[in-house]
Structure 1
Amino acid sequence: MLTGSMVGMANWDDVETAAPELAAAVRGRFEAYGLAILATLRRDGSPRVSGIEPLFALGGLWLGMMPDSRKGTDLLRDPRCALHNATTDKNVAHGDAKINGRAVVVSDTDSLNAYRAAWATSADAPVPEPFALFRIDVTELTMISVADDELVVDFWREGARPGRTIRK
């Protein structure tokens, strides 16, 4: 079950097929530094933001974290989440990427071992053990940039027509 997606859910491969240019730009921003900000919902509904190292591999978008971490318990309770690339420039010269989705807990041995192998290849280090693993089913992508003194917002939403661009 490494690549398929549930009905109505988009794994990363599905997003790359539906909006290839936007998916490549968004992935590039996340992979530029390998760090992201994860937004989850606390038990009382208030937001929590946490640092995370997302991994694009095996046709999916993966979040590994310490077991029983606050962000992990948030995702187990309410799978809705948002990821924002590491922001390093207030002028967004290279763009600002966001991914919204739903986290799906992954616990089968084959997927955990495949993730370990993919992580070791990308990070040149083994996965810190023990860990909890989630796959993100993507519901929305957004890339914000500035071009010709205009704010450019490229986005794709699950179930909608191909990506759109708005200029402001």
Structure 2
Amino acid sequence: METINLGEAEGLPPVDWAAVVEKLDAGSAPRPEAHNSRTTWLCTLNEDGSPHVTAVGALWVDGAFWFQTGADTRKGRNVARDPRCSVAVSISDADVVIEGDAARVTEPGAVARLAKAWADQGWPAEPDETGSGITAPFNAPALGPPPWNVYRIEPRSATVAWAAEPGGLTRFRF
């Protein structure tokens, strides 16, 4: 892993990636009243190269972000054509942007594990009858009817703005 201290000119130390992963693994979120209260944002690339940014119910599991969407949604079409994307999320004491490639996951064991992770957080997802997608009694209306595809974003790089003392701004390349 390459670490680039973007805050060095301001005398800031590099951010500790292990501390970021610990907070992501724990599902750390800012206080509800904090300026950076939790919303996870996914950015994909439209056909003309412009960004498409949308809020998603992404999860951090096993060192990667996971999201779900319908095949005919804009983000579904975008990642099918060009898998490059980024996820931005606020955690306690930091804002994190992960860049990587979205890969559709159809392996039934992985899909079931992620459906359970969503269900454990209050969204009653479960694998569909094929085991390669998920279903639930409700979802965002724009996603269309179930089943929905599951995607994994393996981090290629990350940028972290650490707000806790002493602060820091660091880019990581994996």
Q: Percent identity?
A: 26
CA contact (8 A) 2:21 2:63 kept: no
Structure number with the bigger relative contact order (C-alpha 8 A, sep ≥ 6) is: 2
TM-score, length of structure 2 as denominator length: 0.65
- In the alignment, the residues of structure 1 paired with residue 73 and residue 152 of structure 2 have an alpha-carbon distance, to the nearest angstrom, of 16
- In the alignment, the residues of structure 1 paired with residue 113 and residue 167 of structure 2 have an alpha-carbon distance, to the nearest angstrom, of 39
TM-score, length of structure 1 as denominator length: 0.67
User: CA RMSD of the aligned region, Å?
Assistant: 2.9
Q: Which residue of 1 aligns with 2:101?
A: 102
* 1:99–1:37 CA distance, 2 compared to 1 (3 A): same
Could you list the per-position Cα deviations for residues 122-162 of structure 1 after superposition, in whole angstroms to 9, with x for gaps in the alignment? 225235332111011111122113466x862023211xxxx
Measured after TM superposition, the shift of residue 30 of structure 1 is: 6.8
- In the alignment, the residues of structure 2 paired with residue 63 and residue 82 of structure 1 have an alpha-carbon distance, to the nearest angstrom, of 12
> Is there any run of 5+ residues in structure 1 with no aligned partner, and where?
1-17, 88-92, 159-168
- Map 1:108-147 to 2 at 5 A: 108-123=107-122, 125-126=124-125, 128=136, 129-146=146-163
Q: 2:20 aligns with which of 19, 22, 25?
A: 22
How many pairs were matched up? 134
Could you list the per-position Cα deviations for residues 91-128 of structure 1 after superposition, in whole angstroms to 9, with x for gaps in the alignment? xx932211111111111222222221221112252353
- Which has the larger Rg? 2
CA contact (8 A) 1:35 1:54 kept: no
In terms of fraction of residues, the more helix-rich structure is 1
- In the alignment, the residues of structure 2 paired with residue 21 and residue 94 of structure 1 have an alpha-carbon distance, to the nearest angstrom, of 11
> Is there any run of 5+ residues in structure 2 with no aligned partner, and where?
1-15, 30-36, 126-134, 137-145
- Map 1:66-77 to 2 at 5 A: 66-77=70-81
In the alignment, residue 83 of structure 2 is paired with which amino acid?
P
